[in-house]
Structure formats: structure tokens, C-alpha cells
């Protein structure tokens, strides 16, 4: 039996005859070569002829601890090549240090252990760099950046609504969407409410424009000068720039998801798909997660509260953002979340391990499953209704103890 071992300094060929074990030959790597799973496959394709010469078309069984070696040897006609059991290579590994000391040209001032350590450090650096260079890591940072941008936008809106609201408080009720409010103040140039007219509000619908113009005439806000309005306008323009940044980030995530995880994107969209990858840490981690783990990603606090205090476990985590779940009836959401998590688990594994696109098939299967759930459970069961009543009762008791309120929610009056 012959063996082929991969060590940091090269490829060693060993031989076992009866009970005698020895290393018979070697192929040394260049000083600048660092072994990784990817570049070892390329190296074997280029230098494989030397390995074939060392084995000399032997008909003996050949074992190796590396799948690149066994695959290459089978392609070259060595039908007896196979992946080794760990214990089979142990006798050969005991001989590695002595063989390298005798046959590899090492300077007397350099020890073998220092060479192996340096090679191991080089390999670690290469693997870390490959890990960081993965596209899914950039996606995770992008979706976290969108969260940061949303926080900034909320702060800008809160400040603008208070600041501009001193002058024109009615506008906040007429324009409730945060980005629209910021954009409106920016497009009007932060104009004083008396200067607002149909031209400055032309980008709005006729009904909204009419309501705003009517509110300017009946506003309860204080008067303000153009000088005091300038910083408000400047803050609104800054908010619009932040909105553009958010749009650019969303476009980047959308384009990147088409390359990194097209099946996940097809199931839940780009933003939610990227958020799942970020919560798992990487696409590889997400692919290794069970469907149950995928289902509760983002609901870790509720899950640990369940484990600690025995409260009801969470039915879904961040996947609640999917329209499949949040647009369904409350009693159906748990079952739909389980079905969606199962398909997401399959999609993540296909995206990571094969890259084949099968998103359309997964969507059809999921929609059929959801339709079956909605047909089978059109209304909540008696058990679910009973649990709901119990929760309401507990909530009332809790509020009664905390706020000293009666069961109707009214404060109890002190007795004289």
C-alpha cells in the first residue's frame, strides 16, 4: 500500500510493505507557495505529472488525506486510489519530521519547527484574506449601513418636524411619511409658509397641494424670518443627500444579491435576504443553519426569554418582514414561517454549494404550501383561542398589579 501526504513543505509519498512503513520520495513546494484547498488543486493539475512518475503506475492501493489528490489519481487511471481513514496515515506521519530534516535543504540556523510555523502562519493569513474577500461579508456591511442611515434619517426628521413645526405645525399631519416630509422642505427651499404656492408644491398631488395651501392660511405657527429658515433648509438638503445614499446602498445590495444569493433573493427579496446573511454571519453559516434556526433569526431575545422563563417561543424572527408572513392572518403565521424557513434553508445551501438557480421552483412550491395552509386553517382553532384568552387574562392581572387598576383598565379610587 502507498500513501500520499500533504505537509506545509510539500507532498510526501510513503510505502507500507507488510509491517514496514517508510517515506520513499517527495515533491517540495517553492518557498513562496502557501497551501490552501483552492491553490492545491491548481498545483496538482500543473505538477501532477511528477506525482504520477513517483507512483510509477503502481497497481497497489493508494491512500491520501486530501480529496484533490484522490480525484486527480483516479482521473490518471489509478483506480485503487481512495480517501484514507485517519488511523491509516498515523504511522507515516510519525516519520515526517525525520524525513524532512534529512532530505530537505534547511540552513543550520533555521529549525524545522520554525519553517512549519511560518508556513502555517502564511496559510492562516491567506485563508483569513479569502474569508474577508467573500462578497457576502460586503453585503452584511451594506445592510448594516442601511440601518445606520435609517437611524440618521429618523433623527433628521425628528429635528426638522420640531424645528420647522414651530413655524408650520400643520404640515406634519398632512405629510406623515418621513422621507416625503424631508424632501418637501428641501424642494420648497425651506420657504416660509406664506411663500408656499402651487409652483413650489407642483410635485405633489392636487389634493395634497390644496390641503397644504389651505393650512398655510389657517396655521397656528409662529412667524419666522428668512435668516432663521436657512439652517432648516440646509438640514433638509442634508437629509435628501442621506436619502440618495440609502437608495444607492439598496441598488448595490440588489445587484450583489443577484450574484451572491439569487435563490434567496427570489424568495424574500434583496434587503431581507442580505439581512438574513448578516444575522447568520455569512452565506456559509446561513447554509449550515437548520430551517428552525433560520425561522427565528433576529428573535434571539424572545428565544432566550422562552428558554429562561418558559414564555411562549417566538414563531418567527426577521423573516416576518416577508409579505408571505405579515400579510397573512395571525394564527397562520407560525406555519407559514416554518414553510418559508424550510425553503430559505434549501435556497441558501444551493446558493453556497452549487450556485444553480432554482428560485422559481422554490417560490412555486412555497406558494402552493402557503395556499394549503390557508385552506386547511381558515380560522384559529379552539386551542389557539383559549391561549389567547389566557394571555389577555394574564395581561390584565399584570396591569392591575403594576398600575393598581381594576379589570376595566380604570384607576382605583382611594378609599376615605
- Give the pLDDT mean for 149-168: 93
pTM of model > 0.75 = no
pLDDT (tens digit, 9 = 90+) per residue, 320-351? 999 999 888 888 888 999 999 999 999 999 98
409 has pLDDT over 70: no
SS3 for the chain is CEEEEEECCEEEEEEEECCEEEEEEEEECCCCCCCCHHHHHHHHHHHHHHHHHHHCCCCCCEEECCHHHHHHHHHCCCCCEEECCHHHHHHHHCCHHHHHHHHCCCCCCCCHHHHHHHHHHHHHHHHHHHHHCCHHHHHHHHHHHHHHHHHHHHHHHHHHHHHHHHHCCCHHHHCCCHHHHHHHHHHCCCCCHHHCCCCCCCCCCHHHHHHHHHHHHHCCCCCCCHHHHHHHHHHHHHHHHHHHHHHHHHHHHHHHHHHHCHHHHHHHCHHHHHHHHHHHCCHHHHHHCCHHHHHCCCCHHHHHHHHHHCCCCCCCCHHHHCHHHHCCCHHHHHHHHHHHHHHHHHHHHHHHHCCCCCHHHHHHHHHHHHHHHHHHCCCCCHHHHHHHHHHHHHHHHHHHHHHCECCCCCECCCCC
pLDDT (tens digit, 9 = 90+) per residue, 116-134? 676 677 666 665 555 544 7
| Ordered domains of the chain (ranges, CATH) | 2-132 (3.30.420.220), 137-252 (1.10.287.4070), 261-379 (1.10.246.90)
The least confident of 9-13, 55-59, 239-243, 324-328 is: 55-59
pLDDT at residue 251, rounded to an integer: 94
Amino acid at each position: 500500500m502507498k500513501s500520499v501526504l500533504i505537509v506545509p513543505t510539500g507532498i510526501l509519498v510513503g510505502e507500507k510493505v507488510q509491517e514496514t512503513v517508510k517515506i520513499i520520495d517527495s515533491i517540495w513546494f517553492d518557498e513562496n507557495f502557501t497551501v490552501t484547498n483552492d491553490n492545491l488543486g491548481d498545483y496538482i493539475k500543473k505538477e501532477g505529472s511528477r506525482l504520477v512518475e513517483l507512483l510509477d503506475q503502481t497497481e497497489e492501493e493508494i491512500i491520501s488525506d486530501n480529496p484533490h489528490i484522490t480525484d486527480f489519481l483516479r482521473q490518471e487511471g489509478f483506480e485503487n486510489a481512495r480517501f484514507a481513514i485517519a488511523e491509516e496515515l498515523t504511522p507515516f506521519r510519525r516519520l515526517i519530521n525525520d524525513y524532512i530534516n534529512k532530505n530537505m535543504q534547511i540552513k543550520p540556523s533555521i529549525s524545522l519547527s520554525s519553517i512549519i510555523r511560518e508556513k502555517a502562519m502564511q496559510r492562516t493569513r491567506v485563508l483569513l484574506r479569502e474569508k474577508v474577500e467573500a462578497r457576502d461579508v460586503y453585503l452584511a456591511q451594506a445592510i448594516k449601513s442601511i440601518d445606520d442611515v435609517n437611524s440618521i434619517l429618523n433623527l433628521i426628521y425628528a429635528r426638522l418636524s420640531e424645528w420647522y413645526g414651530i413655524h408650520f405645525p400643520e404640515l406634519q399631519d398632512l405629510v406623515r411619511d418621513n422621507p416625503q416630509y424631508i424632501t418637501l422642505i428641501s424642494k420648497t427651499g425651506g420657504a416660509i409658509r406664506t411663500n408656499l404656492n402651487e409652483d413650489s408644491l407642483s410635485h405633489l398631488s392636487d389634493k395634497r397641494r390644496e390641503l397644504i395651501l389651505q393650512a398655510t392660511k389657517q396655521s397656528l405657527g409662529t412667524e419666522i424670518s428668512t435668516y432663521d429658515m436657512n439652517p432648516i433648509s440646509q438640514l433638509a438638503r442634508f437629509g435628501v443627500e442621506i436619502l440618495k445614499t440609502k437608495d444607492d446602498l439598496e441598488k448595490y445590495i440588489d445587484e450583489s444579491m443577484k450574484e451572491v444569493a439569487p435563490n434567496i433573493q427570489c424568495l424574500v427579496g434583496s434587503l431581507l435576504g442580505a439581512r438574513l446573511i448578516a444575522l447568520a454571519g455569512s452565506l456559509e453559516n446561513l447554509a449550515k443553519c437548520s430551517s428552525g434556526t433560520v425561522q427565528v433569526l433576529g428573535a434571539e431575545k424572545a428565544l432566550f426569554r422562552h428558554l429562561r422563563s418558559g414564555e411562549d417561543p417566538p414563531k418567527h424572527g426577521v423573516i416576518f418582514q416577508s409579505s408571505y408572513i405579515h400579510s397573512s392572518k395571525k394564527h397562520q403565521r407560525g406555519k407559514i414561517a416554518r414553510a418559508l424557513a424550510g425553503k430559505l434553508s434549501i435556497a441558501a445551501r444551493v446558493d453556497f454549494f452549487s450556485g444553480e438557480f432554482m428560485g422559481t421552483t422554490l417560490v412555486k412550491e412555497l406558494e402552493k404550501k402557503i395556499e394549503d395552509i390557508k385552506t386547511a386553517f381558515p380560522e384559529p382553532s379552539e386551542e389557539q383561542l383559549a391561549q389567547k384568552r389566557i394571555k389577555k387574562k394574564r395581561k390584565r392581572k399584570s396591569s392591575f398589579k403594576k398600575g393598581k387598576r381594576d379589570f376595566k383598565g380604570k384607576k382605583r379610587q382611594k378609599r376615605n
